[in-house]
Amino acid sequence: EADIYQTPRYLVIGTGKKITLECSQTMGHDKMYWYQQDPGMELHLIHYSYGVNSTEKGDLSSESTVSRIRTEHFPLTLESARPSHTSQYLCASSATRGSGGPRETQYFGPGTRLLVL
Amino acid sequence: AQKITQTQPGMFVQEKEAVTLDCTYDTSDPSYGLFWYKQPSSGEMIFLIYQGSYDQQNATEGRYSLNFQKARKSANLVISASQLGDSAMYFCAMREINQAGTALIFGKGTTLSVSS
C-alpha cells in the first residue's frame, strides 16, 4: 500500500496569491510526478523528478515550479495564482525497478482541488 | 495521434454483473506496460492492475482482469461481479520502454455507474 500525502486537499484562493501545494511520500521512492487534471478529463504531466535536485517539465506547459531538496518531498508552487489554474493537482511517486522499464507502478496521493477566484 | 483511446464515456451496469471497459493503445515500442486506475469521486487515483507487453498471460487481480489482445492493441479491463463501490471513473494508461521512468500516458477515462 502506497503512502503518499498531499496538503491541502482543497484550496480556495484569490487571484495573485502565491500558493504551495505539498506532496510527501514515505516509501523512499526516487521518482516523483505532478499531474494536472480538469474535472472529468484525463491527467496531464506537468513536472517530474528522478531524484534529489532533479526536476523536469512535463508534456503540459505550466506556470508552476517544483523543487526536490529531499527524497520524500516534492512541493509545487504557483507564484501568482490565476483562475486558469483552477484544477485538481495529483502527486505520484514510483521506485526504479532494476534497470528500469515499463513495469514501474506510480502511486498517487489524494490530490489537491484548487479553485482560484 | 492519441496514444490511449477509451471510447466509452459512460457505462451502466447492475450489481453482480460483469462489465468490460475498453482501451486501445498506439505504440511502436516493443516493450511497454499498460495500467488501469480507478478514480472515485473523492479524487484519488487507485492502481488496479498491470499488463506487460511481453507477459504471456492476461493479468488478474481479484475481481479485475485484463483482456490483453496484443495484435489488436487492446487492453480491456473486465470487472466481474460489480459492486456499488465500483462506481467511479476508470483510466487506462501506458508507459513505453523509451519513456521508462517518466510519465504515464492516460486515456480520457470511462465513468462506470453501478446500480442496485
Averaged pLDDT, B56-76: 95
User: Chain A closest CA to B29's CA: distance in Å?
Assistant: 11
The reported pLDDT for the residue numbered A97 is 67
How far apart are the C-alpha atoms of A65 and B75, rounded to whole Å? 35
* B35 contacts on A by Cβ (under 8 Å): 105-106
Residue with cell 488501469: B36
- What pLDDT sits at residue B64? 97
pLDDT tens digit sequence for A49-104: 999 999 998 878 788 999 999 999 999 999 999 999 999 999 999 887 665 566 78
Write the residue in A58, A59, A103 that is nearest to B33 by C-beta.
A103
Chain B interface includes A35 (CB < 8 A)? yes
Residue A117 scores a pLDDT above 80? yes
Label residue A24 left, alpha or beta by phi (over 0 means left) and psi (-120 to 50 means alpha).
Answer: beta
CB contacts < 8 A, A to B, total 76
Residues in chain A with CB shorter than 8 Å from the CB of B89 are 40
Q: What pLDDT score does B103 carry? A: 73
